[in-house]
């Protein structure tokens, strides 16, 4: 997760009147590199639709299109007490969620635990031990019991594991690859459920893993729980992704299960991997550097152009290039802090875009405090424009994935539940994305947008609990498709 500063007043428009000619030429070149017009948006979206289809096929494609074994939406009347575990990028979150009898309502208690950086690149066993320890602390504190073994029954748990995983069952998941800066050896290609369950068993924790989910799938389910017009769930944060409900008959790679063709199944797209072959994505030389210097070159091509983890790095690379090779930006100054990879995150760009002062005094102060650089007013204007260009490109490209799902499913009107730090906190991201959707889908002007991207419910917490509840409900009904271990669920 990217930490953003508090929202401030709407930004003012900068003036280029006092920008020297050489800087103006660089700004025009940056505009050429980072601007995506309507025709390109449509081209990207059309290819996106084909890649979504390919991902559902037996052969597969770059976009995994993982079946989640979440077989339908909640009806709003699910009840019970559930645990939810959210393992994302920055924090580990543990929740206790109570679903009362009132339709679409929930109560939540939660605690956050910092995910140490050394764990992200450390040992597999240490990771699961740490997670089990946090879970034990939470249960002991909130249940006020001295001996966990004496608890009457096991608490059903929905585990939000927000990394690409292949699932033959809802209560298991084989990690395809680490993302979001994680690189723990010995886990890729393995089922993470038994690794997690072994750590629980070691501590004799009264917990039953009922569902392993992705945060995006959770976002879809939680948002539909409170708003039944929701048909797509999206994440625009450290990474990017979407989930939607497909018909089993439209998923050739699960045809051997012989499920009813009209039975719904949630698909976790994992579309950060869209166009890894770079057929249509308009990459700049800076995007190429971000990819080549990443732990996984050639993977997550789409994500590296729009996700919060990479926006600050793109901004930094451009500034270093302008200093070294182009117009002598920050001439005569020590830019050693700026040369440090990933020293800037998306919140830096957010701050620059939101500077409300005509002289960009807050941006100037930011450069002094964070980078020990004193920027002239024209240099600040260039930095402001660059932040706008990178932020706008991310928002416009993000709309292509949503539009592709709408076109594939022939969705004319729906709500999209979106979550993530970039969507929620990056200035103008929502408005820029909405404008791109209008351009892609050719909506008439002056009317309300038929596809409305709005703030999602808590997918990784409430969504995980709901999916655990839906799984238990299916077990009780005898619908066991995609459930491996029903012991202890009812």
Comparing 135-149, 307-321, 442-456, the range with the smallest average pLDDT is 135-149
pLDDT bracket for residue 147 (50, 70, 90) = low
Tokens 């990017």: give the residue.
Answer: 240
Q: What are the residues whose beta carbons fall under 8 Å from the beta carbon of 202, sequence distance 6 or more?
A: 129, 132
pLDDT at 487 over 50: yes
Comparing 24-28, 138-142, 148-152, 165-169, the range with the smallest average pLDDT is 148-152
Instruction: Provide the whole-model pTM.
Output: 0.89
Tally of CA atoms within 13 A in the half-sphere of 94 that contains its CB: 20
Comparing 286-290, 355-359, 485-489, the range with the smallest average pLDDT is 485-489
394-430 pLDDT, tens digit per residue, is 999 999 999 999 999 999 999 999 999 999 999 999 9
pLDDT bracket for residue 343 (50, 70, 90) = very high
Contact 68, 428 (CB under 8 A): no
In terms of Cβ atoms closer than 10 Å to its own Cβ (0-12, 13-18, 19+), residue 339 is middle
Mean pLDDT of the region 116-135: 92
Mean pLDDT of the region 165-174: 92
pLDDT bracket for residue 456 (50, 70, 90) = very high
pLDDT at 358: 92
Neighbouring C-beta atoms of residue 145, cutoff 10 Å? 12
Comparing 146-160, 204-218, 238-252, the range with the smallest average pLDDT is 146-160
Closest to 8 measured CA to CA, from 425, 357, 354: 354
pLDDT bracket for residue 479 (50, 70, 90) = confident
As a whole number of angstroms, the distance between CA 104 and CA 79 comes to 10
As a whole number of angstroms, the distance between CA 373 and CA 320 comes to 12
pLDDT at 175: 94
Closest to 392 measured CA to CA, from 424, 434, 360: 434
pLDDT at 262 over 90: yes
pLDDT at 1 over 60: no
Neighbouring C-beta atoms of residue 83, cutoff 10 Å? 28
pLDDT bracket for residue 102 (50, 70, 90) = confident
Catalytic residue positions, numbered: 162, 177, 215
pLDDT bracket for residue 65 (50, 70, 90) = very high
Task: Give 426 or 458, the one with higher predicted confidence.
Answer: 426
Comparing 16-20, 373-377, 441-445, the range with the smallest average pLDDT is 16-20
Percent of the chain's residues with pLDDT above 70: 94
Comparing 6-20, 253-267, 319-333, the range with the smallest average pLDDT is 6-20
pLDDT at 3: 62
Mean pLDDT of the region 443-469: 91
Mean pLDDT of the region 23-50: 96
pLDDT at 11 over 50: no
């Amino acid at each position: 997760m990217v930490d953003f500063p508090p929202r401030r007043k709407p930004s003012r428009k900068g003036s280029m009147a006092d920008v020297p000619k050489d800087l103006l030429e660089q700004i025009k070149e940056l505009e050429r590199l980072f601007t995506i017009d309507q025709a390109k948006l449509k081209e990207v979206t059309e290819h996106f639709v084909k890649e979504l289809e390919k991902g559902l096929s037996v052969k597969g494609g770059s976009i995994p299109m993982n079946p989640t074994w979440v077989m339908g939406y909640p009806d709003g009347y699910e009840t019970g007490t559930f645990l939810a575990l959210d393992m994302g990028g920055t924090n580990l979150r543990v929740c206790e969620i109570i679903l009362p009898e009132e339709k679409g309502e929930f109560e939540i208690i939660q605690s956050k635990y910092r995910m140490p950086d050394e764990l992200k690149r450390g040992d597999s066993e240490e990771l699961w031990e740490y997670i089990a320890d946090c879970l034990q602390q939470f249960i002991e504190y909130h249940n006020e019991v001295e001996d966990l073994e004496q608890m009457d029954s096991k608490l059903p748990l929905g585990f939000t594991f927000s990394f690409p995983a292949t699932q033959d069952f809802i209560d298991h998941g084989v990690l395809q690859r680490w993302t979001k800066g994680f690189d723990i050896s010995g886990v890729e290609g393995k089922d993470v459920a038994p690794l997690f369950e072994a750590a629980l068993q070691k501590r004799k924790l009264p917990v039953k893993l009922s569902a392993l989910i992705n945060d995006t799938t959770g976002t879809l389910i939680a948002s539909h729980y409170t708003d039944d017009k929701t048909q797509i769930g999206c994440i625009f944060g450290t990474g990017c992704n979407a989930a939607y409900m497909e018909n089993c008959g439209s998923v050739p790679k699960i045809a051997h299960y012989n499920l009813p063709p009209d039975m719904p199944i949630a698909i976790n797209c994992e579309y950060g991997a869209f166009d890894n072959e770079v057929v249509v994505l308009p990459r700049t030389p800076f995007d190429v550097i971000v990819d080549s210097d990443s732990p996984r070159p050639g993977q997550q091509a789409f994500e590296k152009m729009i996700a919060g983890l990479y926006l600050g790095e793109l901004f930094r690379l451009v500034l270093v290039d302008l200093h070294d090779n182009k117009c002598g930006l920050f001439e005569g100054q020590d830019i050693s802090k700026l040369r440090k990879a990933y020293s800037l995150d998306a919140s830096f760009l957010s701050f620059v875009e939101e500077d409300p002062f005509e002289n960009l005094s807050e941006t100037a102060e930011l450069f002094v405090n964070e980078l020990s650089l004193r920027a002239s007013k024209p240099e600040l204007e260039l930095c402001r424009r660059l932040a706008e260009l990178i932020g706008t490109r991310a928002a416009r490209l993000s709309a292509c994935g949503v539009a592709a799902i709408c076109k594939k499913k022939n969705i004319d009107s729906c709500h999209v539940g979106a979550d993530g730090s970039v969507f929620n906190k990056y200035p103008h991201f929502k408005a820029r994305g909405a404008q791109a959707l209008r351009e892609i889908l050719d909506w008439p002007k002056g009317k309300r947008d038929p596809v409305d991207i709005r703030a999602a419910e808590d997918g990784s917490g409430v969504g995980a609990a709901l999916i655990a509840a839906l799984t238990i409900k299916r077990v009780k009904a005898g619908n066991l498709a995609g459930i491996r271990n029903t012991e202890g669920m009812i």
